[in-house]
Each structure stands twice: as structure tokens, then as C-alpha cells.
Amino acid sequence: MNPLRYLVFFHPARLARSLRMALKSLLLHKLRSGLTMLGIVFGVFSVIAMLAIGEGASTQAQQQVLQLGATNILCVSVKPPEETSDPSQGRQWVVRYGLKEADLKLLDVIPSVVRAIPIREIGTEARYGGRTLNARLVGCTPDYFEVNHLSRATGRFLTDSDGEKFAMRAVIAHDVARELFRHEDPLGKTITVNQQFFRIIGVTRFRTASAAIGSSLSGQDYNKDIYIPLETLQTRIIPGGVDVQRKSGSFSAEEVQLNQITLQVTDPQVVLQTAETVRESIERNHPGMKDVHVVVPMELLKQAEQLRGIFNVVLGSIAFISLIVGGIGIMNIMLATVTERTREIGVRRALGAKQSDIIEQFLTETMVLSGTGGLIGVVLGLLTPQAFQAVRGLANRWILEGSAAGGELGRMFTQMEPTVPYWSLPLAFGFSVAIGVIFGLYPARAAARLDPIEALRHE
């Protein structure tokens, strides 16, 4: 005999009667029924919440990659380990590594490259009046603003003419303007950077910081940048590309001509092929140095999409375990209910009820428990973004502020927005009902198989 055939209720009146009886039986023990439902409620909620957090984290990672540009190739200078330095140079006080002007000329002539955008950056201290600020001084070309999705708040961006004239002009970022000038209008004002005076010609709008990508690309906070013409930085700030740092009596110097070159490719279809050509060219110019990393956003985007599916499967599986635990709780309670209602079952059988009627009654009760718990869990799951914001607010206030863990991890946590995938709602609810049926089937069959005479004798 296949017990699953009893799950089909052919007559609406019979189904309505079964539901009324199930509700009546469950309401006789409100606390027990409520506690039993909690396992399903939290199981469904955890499934939806886990998938929402996974979806949010994956979306954030993909957005970070897309901000780098799907048709871009990034060549980044990286300080190599000491064992890869050129032994013929001996011990040097000035560490030389990274991209050179020769690399820029070589990469710019690759047929599929539309333009090559170089930058050179150093850490610096900016001053205005009695206020100081640690900032990043970026020597760049006018194309830099478009490539990095920087928008103008006021004034203008740098132009080719500024670079040709080695102009002492600067565009400052949102936080630099706020902290140095407070309520003043920065346009036309002069700031001091590396003992040089720069006139402010523009201010950028706030831009979300980018996260680090492995060891190849560090996270960047664009809101504390000062942008000047690349030619001005190379001739007046760090001639020859040598950046000297003196701290607490120590001396260090690095010679880096360019920190990064962003290559824009004509067609997304040739990005990966062009990237291989770029890697080969870099390897020829820097044999065995490992001082330049080539980052291809398109490759990272494909990896992020693959990780998205893995993330959802792993998190969903973990949450699904809590549903199984809830189902075990339902089975446990229903088995206890069968024992308590043995005499009732005997009376019903004596009055002509069939085994299918008993199975139907107990399965209906388990489906009401799991279905109601599933609906409540779905409602709670829809509130995941709001709940996450509340938790994030507490974490920012009590945990992340002033702690070492509040660096890159804190930035990712504060920027992530959980997204509830709507396909997860019917999936989680369907699983909750299925769990109720599966774990309620054994108690229902156990009740139906009781001997009527023995059940009537039960005290």
C-alpha cells in the first residue's frame, strides 16, 4: 500500500473538515504547537536570509569588478619580494621597481588598445590655513576621471593644457574639501602639498570606495585624493620618480615611474587575448622581477559569477539543515500526540473511520504546522534587509569603530546590501511544507495502524 495516495483530497468539503479538525486539535495545545512551529519558522527564515546575504555579497563583488571596467586591463606596480630584486645592483638605498614610461609606450601601440591611461601616486600631507590632512596625491591625465567614474561637484577637471604647461592646479576629492575647507568654497583657494602651492580648480563628488582584489589591487578611497597633472607631479614633486620618506629618523626611498596603467580595449571579445599580449610584453620588459601585476576585470567577473552559484548552494544547504531539525521536532511532537490520542483514534475507528481518514487527519495537522511556520518564516525573510541594517548599525557603533578588524572587512560589511532573491520565497515555503509531510508521514501511519480494540482499552 502506497501511503502517498492519501495526500490527494478529492472533495473540498472533506478538506475543509480536515482543516477545521486540525486547527481545533492544535489549538488545544497552543504553546506546544507554537514551539513546534518555531523550528520551521527559523528554518525558512534562515534559508531566505542566507541566500539574501549571499546574493548581496556576490552583487557587491560584481559591482566592484564592473567599476574597474569590463573592457579594461589594469597593469599595477607591486613592490617585489627581496629575493626577486636584481642581484647585479647590490644593496641599494633606493628601491627601484614597477612600471616605466617605456612600458606605457610599448603597451599603447598594441592594436586592440584604444588608449593607455597612466597614473603616479604618493602619500602626502595637505595643508590649508591651520588645518592638515593625510591624503593621496595622484598625478593623472584628464581621462582618469572618466575611467574611474568620478563626477564633478563644482569647478572643472584637469585638461591636457594643464599638463602641457606643468600647471600648479589641483582637483580635490569630497573629503579633502570637507575637512580642509569646512564651510568655505574651495574654488580658487590655494593648498600646500609637499611644500608646493596648488590652486583648486575643481571638487569631485563622493564616490564609494573600492574593495581590494587579492594581492593584485589594493582598495582605494577616492574621497581623500588630490589630483594634479601627471607631468607636474613628475617634474616638480618627485623628479625622476623617486619618492623619499623620512619617519622617526629612518630613511626610505622608492623609484617608481608609474603606479598603474589602465588600458582600454576596443571590443570585449578581445580583452582576454589582449591581456595575454600585455602579460608577455610586461614579462619581456621585467624579466623575473614580478613587480607588475596584470588585472583583468572580465576574468574576475566570470569568477565572481561562478562563486555566486557556489555561495548560494553552500549557504542554502547550511540553512536547509535547520529545516531538517524543525522537521524532526514536528515528528517528535506528532508521535507524542499519537500516544496521547490513542483512545480518540480507537473511537474514530470504531465509528467507521478508515486508515486513510486517520492518516489524512494527522498529515493535515503537520501540514498546518509546517505551512503556517513557513508563511511566518517567509514574512520574516522579506525583512532581512531591514534586520541587516539594524545589525550593521550596532556593529558599526560597538564593534567596528576603532578596531583593527574594522578595516577592509568593516568596509565590506558596511557597504553590503542583502538582496532577497524572490525565487527563494516559494522554494523555502515549498521545502517547509515538504518537510512537514515527510516527517509527519511516519506518525500518521503509526496512528492509522493502531488496533481499534487495543486503542479503546488505552487509558
| Domain assignment of residue 114, given as a range | 79-290
Amino acid 4: pLDDT: 47
Q: Is the pLDDT of residue 2 over 60?
A: no
296, part of any domain: no
- Across the strands, what pairs with 258? 99
Among 266, 290, 314, which residue terminates a domain?
290
Q: Do residue 237 and residue 319 come from a single domain?
A: no
* Strand, helix or coil for residue 294: strand
Spell out the residues 6+ positions from residue 312 whose beta carbon is closer than 8 angstroms to its own.
51, 54, 55, 58
Q: Do residue 227 and residue 364 come from a single domain?
A: no
Q: Do residue 120 and residue 226 come from a single domain?
A: yes
Q: What is the pLDDT of residues 31-77, one digit of tens each?
A: 878 888 888 888 888 888 888 887 777 777 666 666 666 778 889 99
C-alpha distances in Å from residue 441, one per residue of 8, 104, 220, 342, 435: 14, 71, 57, 17, 10
115, part of any domain: yes
Amino acid 370: pLDDT: 85
Contact in structure between 421 and 52 (CB atoms under 8 Å): yes
Q: Do residue 212 and residue 168 come from a single domain?
A: yes
Eight-state DSSP code of residue 220: B
Amino acid 8: pLDDT: 46
Cell numbers representing residue 386 in the block = 531591514
Q: What is the pLDDT of residues 449-459, one digit of tens each?
A: 777 777 666 65
- Helix, strand and coil percent figures for the chain, each rounded to 5: 55, 20, 25
Does 336 or 374 have the greater pLDDT score?
A: 374
Highest mean pLDDT among 70-79, 150-159, 288-297: 150-159
Q: Do residue 113 and residue 208 come from a single domain?
A: yes
Cell numbers representing residue 72 in the block = 579594461
* 13 confidence band (pLDDT: 50, 70, 90): low
71, part of any domain: no
Q: Do residue 97 and residue 245 come from a single domain?
A: yes
Among 290, 314, 332, which residue terminates a domain?
290
pTM: 0.62
The one-letter amino acid at 23: L
The one-letter amino acid at 105: K
* Exposure string for 134-151, b = 16+ CB within 10 A, e = fewer: ebbbbbbbbbbbebbebe
Work out how many domains the chain is built from and give that number.
Answer: 2
Q: What is the pLDDT of residues 234-256, one digit of tens each?
A: 998 888 766 666 555 566 678 88
**H helices of 89-153, where?**
101-108, 143-147
Q: Do residue 244 and residue 370 come from a single domain?
A: no
354, part of any domain: yes
Mean pLDDT to the nearest integer, 333-354: 76
Amino acid 247: pLDDT: 52
Amino acid 201: pLDDT: 96
Amino acid 364: pLDDT: 81
Q: Do residue 119 and residue 237 come from a single domain?
A: yes
Q: Which of 76-85, 410-419, 433-442 has the lowest mean pLDDT?
A: 410-419
Spell out the residues 6+ positions from residue 346 whose beta carbon is closer than 8 angstroms to its own.
450, 452, 453, 454, 455, 456, 457, 458
C-alpha distances in Å from residue 224, one per residue of 128, 214, 221, 352: 15, 22, 6, 82
Does 91 or 436 have the greater pLDDT score?
A: 436
Mean residue pLDDT of the chain comes to 79
* 403 confidence band (pLDDT: 50, 70, 90): very low
221, part of any domain: yes
Whose grid coordinates read 580642509? 180
Q: Do residue 56 and residue 200 come from a single domain?
A: no
73, part of any domain: no
Q: Is the pLDDT of residue 413 over 60?
A: no
Contact in structure between 290 and 77 (CB atoms under 8 Å): no
Q: Do residue 286 and residue 227 come from a single domain?
A: yes
